[in-house]
Structure 1
Amino acid sequence: MSTHTAAPDPDATPASDPASDPASDPVLGFDPTYGYDLDALLAVPAPEPPADFDAFWQGLYSEALDVTVAPELGPLEYEQDGMRVHGVTYTSSGGFRVGGWLTLPADGEVTRGMVVVHGYGGRTAPETSLPGPGTAAIWPCARGLADRSLSPEIPSLAAEHVLHGIASRDTYVHGGNAADVWCAATVLRELVPQASRLDYVGTSFGGGIGALALPWDPRFTSGVLVVPSFGNIPLRLTLPCLGSGEAVRAHHAAHPEAVEVLRYFDAASAATRVNIPTLVAAALYDPAVPPPGQFAVHNGLAAGVRELVVLSHGHAEHEGAEAEAASLRGAINHFLSRKRA
C-alpha cells in the first residue's frame, strides 16, 4: 500500500484537529471523526457480501453491455482549459436516457478516455481542468440527478434518491447508476474509439458507485475514488451524518429488512473484487460521509492495487482547504499519468 497525505500549507493553522478532539461538534450534535484515528480507520474491514453478490453484479453488467446506447453528441457548447465541451445523451439500462457532457482536447489529439462521476449534488458542468493531455472524457449525470438526467420517475434530492427502489435489489437505483457508468464507457468507445485506455474518477456518490461498477468491467485500467460513499453498510447504519446515509439510517430503523438489499450495494464489499490500480482519497473528518466507511473502501482493495491519500477533511470547509485540494489534484494527476499495461 502506498499512502500519501494531502496536507495544507505547513504554516497554516488547521481549523481543528479531528484526531485529537473526539468530542461531539456542538452544532452538528455528533463527532465527524466518530472517535477513529488513522490507525483505527485503517483497520475498518470490508463486510462479507451475500453469497450471490458476484453473480448479481455480473448479471447487471451483462445487461448493460447489451444496451444499444445510441449516443447523440451535441454541438460545441464552449471551449475551456484546452478542452472542447459538447453535450451528450445516451441510453442506459432500463431504457433510461442519460445526459451529460463529452470533453475533447482542443488540439484533436486523443490517446485515452475517462469516465467522471459527480457527488450527490449532481453536476452543472464538467471540470475541464481535470483530464490530462490527450484525454477524452465523458461526464454523465447519473439517472435522476441534476442537471441533465432529471426524471419525473426518480427523485433528485439525495435523501430521496438514495431510497428509490430500495425494496428490492432489482429495482434499487444504485444498480441503475452503475449501469450508467458502464454505458458511458460504451459511449466513449463508440464516439472516440482512439481512446484506448480508460480510467474512472468519482467523488462521494461517484466514488461509491465507482467501487460498485469497477470490478465487473475489464475496460477500465485504473480508478480514483474520492471520499467514497456506501462503504461498510452495517457500520454506516450506526453512524449519524448529514448526508444521504442519514436517510438510509432512518429508513432502516423503520424497515430493518432493507439491510438485505443494501448488502448488495456495499462499496467496500465490491472493492474486494477490484483488481486494477485504484487510488482512494479518504478523510479523517467528514460530517456527510463517515470516514470509517470511506476507509473501508480503501481497506477492501487488495494490497497490490491500492493507494491512499489521507485528507484532513471531507465535505466541510476548513482552513487550508485550497492547499489540500491542490495537493489532492496533484496526487490524482500523478496517479493517472502513469503508464498502465
Structure 2
Amino acid sequence: MAQFDLPLEELEHYAPAVPAPADFDAFWQETLGEARAAPPVRAARPVPTGLRLVDTWDVTFAGFGGDPVRAWFSRPAGVTGALPAVVEYAGYGRGRGLPHERLTWVCAGYAHLLMDNRGQGDLYGNGGDTPDPHAGAPGGHRPVTQGILSPHDYYYRRLITDAVRAVDAVRALPGVDPARVAVAGNSQGGGLALAVAGLVPDLAAMLATAPFLCHIGRAVMLTDASPYGEIAQYLAVHRDAEAPARHTLSYVDGVSFARRARAPGHFGVGLRDTVCPPSTAFAAYHAYGTADRTMHTYPFNGHEGGDAVHVRRQLDWLGARLPAAETFDVDSR
C-alpha cells in the first residue's frame, strides 16, 4: 500500500478539534469508582515456563464490574527489591497467549504485567482466558461494535476499565515499586495505553505504537481495514445507528484521553498504515498533555511500523526515564 494519508509535513502540524462529551470526566470517574470498590488482586499463582531467567505468575485481578481478568506477571529471576513495572496491553483479537511469548520488558529488567483482553483471543496469537459476561447489549458481534449504541454498554468501556485496573493490580503485587509504573501497547494496546495515561495521573511513562481508537470519526471514513472497517460494516446495515454510535465512540477516543495525560509519552507510526491511519495517531500526539513526548515515523512501513527497530528505541527512551534492574543472579534461585 502506498502512502494514503496526509504527507509528513502536514502530519507534523495536524491537531484537529476532537471534542469530548461534556460529561466525559464524570462518566469515567463514575465507571472507575464502581470498579475500584473491589480489591484489585484476586489471585497470583506461580507457573512453570521452562525459562531459568524469568519467574512468572498467573494473576487474576478485578476488572470492570469486579469481573475476573487474567494476566501474566513476570519478573527477572534472582533480582530482589522493588522493580519498576511495565503494564502491556495486547492488540485487537489477541489474548494474553502463553507466558513465554512477551519477554522484552522483563528481559530488560522490568517487572511485567501482560493483561488479557476480555472476550478476545480467537483472531490470532495463542488464545485468551478471560470471558466477557456483558457482551449481550445491542450492537454488532465483534468487540468494536458490541454495545455501540450506548456508552454504558460499550465494550471499550469495559476493556479500558480493565486496563486501568491492571495498573492498580501491578501496584499491589509484591516486588513492584508502585511509583514507577509505565504502560505500553501496539494498535489496540496503544489505544489502551493512551486511555490509561489519561485516566491515571501518576504514571511514570506511556508508550503507544500505531494506536487504535484515536480520532475515530476520521478513521472510520478513511479506511475499510479492520477494526475500523467493522464499524462501517455495522453502520452499512444499521443505517439509523450512526448518531448513537458516534456519541458512544466519543467517550473512548484516544485524543480526549491524550489531552488529560501527564506522563512522558513515546509514539510510533508507519506512514503507510491503513489499519490505524497515521493522521489519527498524530491527532493524539499533538493533543498529548505534556511537552515531554516524542514521535518516531516510518515512511515505508504500514501497521508494523518500526518493528524491532522501534522496540530498541522504546527501550532506550524508557531506560533513560525509568531505569530497570541491572543485575541478574540466576545462581541465587
Q: Which TM bucket (shorter chain)? A: 0.7 to 0.9
Q: Is the 8 A contact 1:206 1:228 kept in 2?
A: yes
2:111 to 136, 140, 158: 136
Q: Does 1:277 align with 2:264?
A: yes
TM norm structure 2: 0.83
1:82 to 47, 53, 57: 53
Identity %: 23
The equivalent of 1:267 in structure 2 is 254
Change (3 A) 1:224 1:63: same
Shift of 1:80: 3.6
Change (3 A) 1:79 1:64: farther
Q: Is the 8 A contact 2:64 2:159 kept in 1?
A: no
Instruction: Give, as a single letter, the amino acid of the residue that structure 2 aligns with 1:315.
Output: H
Query: What does 1:1-341 align with in structure 2 at a 5 Å threshold?
Result: 25=1, 33-46=3-16, 47-80=18-51, 82-109=53-80, 110-122=82-94, 123-125=96-98, 126-131=101-106, 133-146=108-121, 147-151=128-132, 154=135, 160-192=142-174, 194-196=176-178, 197-253=180-236, 254=239, 255-257=241-243, 258-302=245-289, 304-312=291-299, 313-315=301-303, 324-339=306-321
1:275-324 CA-partner distances (Å, limit 9, x unpaired): 110101112011222222122121211451211111232335xxxx8xx4
Greater RCO structure (CA 8 Å; 6+ sep): 1
Provide the rounded CA distance (Å) in 2 between the counterparts of 1:42 and 1:269: 19
The equivalent of 1:4 in structure 2 is none
The equivalent of 1:5 in structure 2 is none
TM norm structure 1: 0.81
Provide the rounded CA distance (Å) in 2 between the counterparts of 1:133 and 1:217: 24
Instruction: Give, as a single letter, the amino acid of the residue that structure 2 aligns with 1:135.
Output: Y
Change (3 A) 1:43 1:249: farther
1:206-252 CA-partner distances (Å, limit 9, x unpaired): 11122122112134211000110111122112112322101112334
Q: Is the 8 A contact 2:262 2:290 kept in 1?
A: no
Deviation above 6 Å: which 4+ runs of structure 1? none
1:165-189 CA-partner distances (Å, limit 9, x unpaired): 1111111111111111121112212
Q: Is the 8 A contact 2:171 2:177 kept in 1?
A: yes
List runs of 5+ in structure 1 lacking aligned partners: 1-24, 26-30
Greater Cα offset, 303-312 or 77-86 = 77-86
Aligned length: 303
1:117-139 CA-partner distances (Å, limit 9, x unpaired): 01013131341123364421111
Change (3 A) 1:241 1:305: farther
Instruction: Give, as a single letter, the amino acid of the residue that structure 2 aligns with 1:118.
Output: A
1:44-102 CA-partner distances (Å, limit 9, x unpaired): 32412122212222222323332223421122231548322222212212132111211
